[in-house]
């Protein structure tokens, strides 16, 4: 079991190692250094990584506080489901009624790798590979529909 400080240090090392891993990817050389994440150019739509003790997720999140607008944005994105899921062998997981860790209702579209643990350094390589490949694919697919889904 880790102390609070040890866990904080481990998570910091994880993100530092992932940044180094990402900077060495050949497909990243043609694009900006950083992942899109909060810079999607669509209001209240963000991308994120979620590594934890049960695996890792690569997420497209719609977090508008107004439920009607959030669901309308989700439905607009869902209209382009085929484009967004291109290259994902098992498709994506579509969750229109997710509650985040702060209790806010959000919509999530994601893929996940189970049976990996951020606390196991031996799992980091496969987590990094999963995160990089799937975020790259999700970003590219999202860029194709971005202008079509702006509200």
pLDDT at position 31 is 58
State the pTM of this model.
Answer: 0.92
CB 69 within 8 A of CB 76: no
Q: Using DSSP, state whether 16 is helix, strand or coil.
A: helix
**pLDDT value at residue 28:** 58
Q: How many CA atoms lie within 13 A of 49 on its CB side?
A: 22
Residue 150's pLDDT is 85
- Residues 6 or more apart from 75 whose CB is under 8 A from it? none
Asked if pLDDT for residue 54 goes beyond 90, the answer is yes
Residue 23: band (very low, low, confident or very high) from pLDDT cuts 50, 70, 90: confident
Tokens encoding 48: 């994120």
Q: Max Cα separation, the chain?
A: 47
Average pLDDT value for residue range 125-132: 97
Return the structure tokens found at 139: 């970003």
What stretches of the chain adopt beta strand conformation (E)? 45-52, 55-62, 93-99, 105-114
76-119 residue pLDDT tens: 999 999 999 999 999 999 999 999 989 999 999 999 999 999 99
Structure tokens at 150: 């702006």
pLDDT band at residue 34 under the 50/70/90 scheme: confident
What is d(CA 82, CA 141) in angstroms, rounded to the nearest whole number?
10
- Over range 43-70, report the average pLDDT: 96
Residues constituting the chain: 151
pLDDT for residue 2 = 81
């Amino acid at each position: 079991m880790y102390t609070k400080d040890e866990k904080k240090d481990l998570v910091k090392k994880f993100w530092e190692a992932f940044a180094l891993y990402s900077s060495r990817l050949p497909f990243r050389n043609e694009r900006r250094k950083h992942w899109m994440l909060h810079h999607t150019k669509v209001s209240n739509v963000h991308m994120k990584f979620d590594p934890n003790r049960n695996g890792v997720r690569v997420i497209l999140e719609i977090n508008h506080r107004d439920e009607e607008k959030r669901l309308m944005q989700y439905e607009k994105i869902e209209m382009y489901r085929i484009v967004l899921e291109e290259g994902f062998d098992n498709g994506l997981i579509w969750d229109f009624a997710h509650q985040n860790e702060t209790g806010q209702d959000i919509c999530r579209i994601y893929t996940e790798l189970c049976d990996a643990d951020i606390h196991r350094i031996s799992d980091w390589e496969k987590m990094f590979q999963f995160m990089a490949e799937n975020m790259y694919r999700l970003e590219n697919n999202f860029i194709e529909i971005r202008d079509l889904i702006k509200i």
